Structure 1
C-alpha cells in the first residue's frame, strides 16, 4: 500500500509540475519568454508565466507572483505562494517582496495569507543570500542588498563594480538632490558620468537620459546615436521618440524626414495594445504620417516594420524588477 501511495503522489506531482524542475522544455521556455515580454509591456503574461512557474522555473515563479500582485494591487495568497516558491530556490528578489508583506494592504485589511516564514525572517534570509553572492563580487546582489539593508554603501559598491542598473539609479538619486558635493558643477558631472556608464553597460533607460544630456550640451549627433541604440535595444519610450522623429521636420535631433520609415516603425507600437498609454499617441500620429504616403509607400513601410521586428528584441517598458 505504501508503494502504491508513493506512486500516486509521484504521478500527481508530475501532473501538477515539480517545483524543483531543473530544466524547462522548449515549449515551456517559449511560454516563459513570452510571458516576461508581455509583463514588460504592461500586459497580462500570467497564463504563459504560469506554465513555466508550475514546471519549477524560479524566474517565472517570481514574475508570475509580480503579475498577480500588481493585478490585485496587494499581496494575495497565490502571489505569496509563488514568491515563496521562488524564494525557496534562492531568489533574493522574491525574498525582498516577502519581507514587505507585513506592511502590505492585506495587513491593513486583516486577510494576509499565512506563510512559512514571517516578513522579518524573509528579510534576514534575503540579506544573507544576497550578501553571500555580493561577497563573491556579484554586482546585482550588491544592488538588491542596498534595498534589503537600506545601506547606501551597497549601492556604491554595486556602482563601483559596474552594475548598469545601480549606476542609473544613483544618477537619478543625485538628480533629485541626494548626496553632498562641495562644488556645484560636480553634481551634474557625476550624474553625466553615471548615466554614461550605465548606457555603455547596456541599460536602455540610461541611454535616454544620457542622450538628453548630450543634446542639452549641443551634441545632437552623439545624442541621436544613443537614441538609435536605445531603440534597437527595445526601449518603448526611446523607440517612440526614434520613430516619431523621422516624421517631424523640426524634431529635436535634426534627423531628416523619412515618412516611410516613420510609419513602419510607429506601427510596431500598436503591438503594445495600450500598454503604458502608448495607444492614443500612436493612433493619433499614424493617420498624420499616412497623409504623406502613397499606398505603395505604406506597403513599403509595413515591410520596414516586419524587418525591424525580426532583427530586434521585443519592445519593453523595462519596469523595475523590484516592483516598486
Structure 2
C-alpha cells in the first residue's frame, strides 16, 4: 500500500504522462514501492524514450514484467503484443518468459477477469488500445475479448491439471474423459504435472472406488459417467443420490435395462422418479407428475409434485404451473385461475432477469 506521499507522486506522474510530459521521476517513486499501475506507466514512459533513441537501456521491460506479474492487464498486453521479446522459451535468457508465454498469460487473465466479472481493467484496456495509432490493433483486441468472454478459465487444460493435482475429483473426471494433449499421449512426454488420458482415467477410477467404499454415492454416479458402467448408476441410485435416481428413471424410460414385461419397467420408472422427487430434485418432481398423468394415475399426486417443484423455485415448474392455471381444461385438474397464472408469470420473469 502506498504512503500518502507515494500516492500523490503516482497521481502526479500519471497526470504528467497523459499530458505527454516527462513523468519518470514521479512514477518511479510509486513503481519502486510496488504499485502495478505506476510500474506500467513508468514502463511506457521509458519505452517511448527507448523508441526515440533517448535511452539505450531496456529498463522498460523490467517494469512491464513487474507490473504484469501483479496481473496488470495493460502490461500483459504490451508484453504479449508490442514489446520485442525472445520468441522460443528454450532460447530465452534464464528467468525470462517468451512472447508466447506472456500471450498465454494475457489470455488466461482476460478469462479470469470475465469469470470474476472484474470489468474495470477490461474497460481501461479497451479504451487505451482504442487510442493506439496501430491500424487494426483495436479490432484485433475485440476478437481476443470475445474469445475470453466465451471461454471459461475452468475449461483450460492448465487450470484442470492444476485443480486435479490439488485433489479436485470433478477435474479428474474431465481429464479422464478428455483426450487432451495428443502429443503428450503419443510420445509420453507430458508437461510437468500433466499425464496421458489413460493415466488420468486410472487415477480417477482408483479415487472413485475409494470414495464409494466410504459411502460417497456421488462418486458412484461420476464413475458411471467416466466409464459408462450402468451398474454404478444403479449403485448410486440405490445409495440415495438424487440425481442418479432421476437419471436411472430417465434411462429406464429410454429403454435401457432388461425387464420381462412393460408394466415392470413403468413401475421402476415411477419408483425412481418418486425417490428422486422425495430427495428434493425438482426435475424429478416434474417428471414424476407427468409420469403419473401418463399412467392415468391419481392426478392429486401430479398436482402435489408440480406445486412442490414451483415452491422450491424451479423455473420449469413455475412455468408449467402458470400454464395449468391459465388453461381450461388442463392436464392435472388445477382450477382455472388467471390471477395465479399472471402472478406466477411475473415471478418467473423476475427470476429470469
TM-score normalised by L of structure 1: 0.57
Q: Counterpart of 1:156?
A: 234
Match of 1:101 among 172, 178, 182: 178
Q: CA deviation at 1:95?
A: 1.3
Q: CA deviation at 1:15?
A: 6.3
The superposition leaves residues 272-293 of structure 1 with CA deviations (integer Å, 9 ceiling, x where unpaired) of: 659xxxxxxxxxxxxxxxxxxx
Q: Counterpart of 1:223?
A: 302
Match of 2:325 among 237, 241, 246: 246
Q: Give the Cα separation in 2 of the matches to 1:243 and 1:261.
A: 7
Matched, 1:140 2:218: yes
Q: Counterpart of 1:131?
A: 209
In the superposition, relative to structure 1, how do residues 149 and 77 fare at CA in structure 2: closer, same or farther (>3 Å)? Answer: closer
Q: Counterpart of 2:164?
A: 87
Q: CA deviation at 1:188?
A: 0.9
Contact 2:289-2:301 within 8 A present in 1 as well: yes
Q: Give the Cα separation in 1 of the matches to 2:344 and 2:263.
A: 39
The superposition leaves residues 123-153 of structure 1 with CA deviations (integer Å, 9 ceiling, x where unpaired) of: 2221122221111011111111112232222
Q: CA deviation at 1:96?
A: 1.4
In the superposition, relative to structure 1, how do residues 102 and 76 fare at CA in structure 2: closer, same or farther (>3 Å)? Answer: farther
In the superposition, relative to structure 1, how do residues 233 and 137 fare at CA in structure 2: closer, same or farther (>3 Å)? Answer: same
Matched, 1:208 2:274: no
Q: CA deviation at 1:91?
A: 2.1
| SS of aligned partner of 2:156 | helix
| SS of aligned partner of 2:272 | helix
Q: Give the Cα separation in 2 of the matches to 1:243 and 1:46.
A: 39
Q: Counterpart of 2:116?
A: 50
Q: Counterpart of 2:311?
A: 232
Q: Counterpart of 2:335?
A: 256
**Root-mean-square deviation over aligned CA pairs:** 3.7
User: Could you say which structure has the larger radius of gyration?
Assistant: 2
Q: Give the Cα separation in 1 of the matches to 2:148 and 2:254.
A: 29
- Which sections of structure 1, spanning at least 5 residues, go unmatched? 1-7, 17-44, 53-67, 108-112, 275-324
The superposition leaves residues 73-109 of structure 1 with CA deviations (integer Å, 9 ceiling, x where unpaired) of: xx9896223323432332222211122221799x9xx
Q: Give the Cα separation in 2 of the matches to 1:223 and 1:237.
A: 15
Q: Give the Cα separation in 2 of the matches to 1:204 and 1:257.
A: 24
Q: Give the Cα separation in 2 of the matches to 1:130 and 1:70.
A: 33
Q: CA deviation at 1:264?
A: 2.1
- Select the structure with the greater relative contact order (CA < 8 A; seq sep ≥ 6): 1
Q: Give the Cα separation in 2 of the matches to 1:121 and 1:212.
A: 43
Q: Counterpart of 2:91?
A: none
Contact 1:90-1:129 within 8 A present in 2 as well: no
Matched, 1:193 2:193: no
Q: CA deviation at 1:236?
A: 1.9
Give the paired residue count.
214
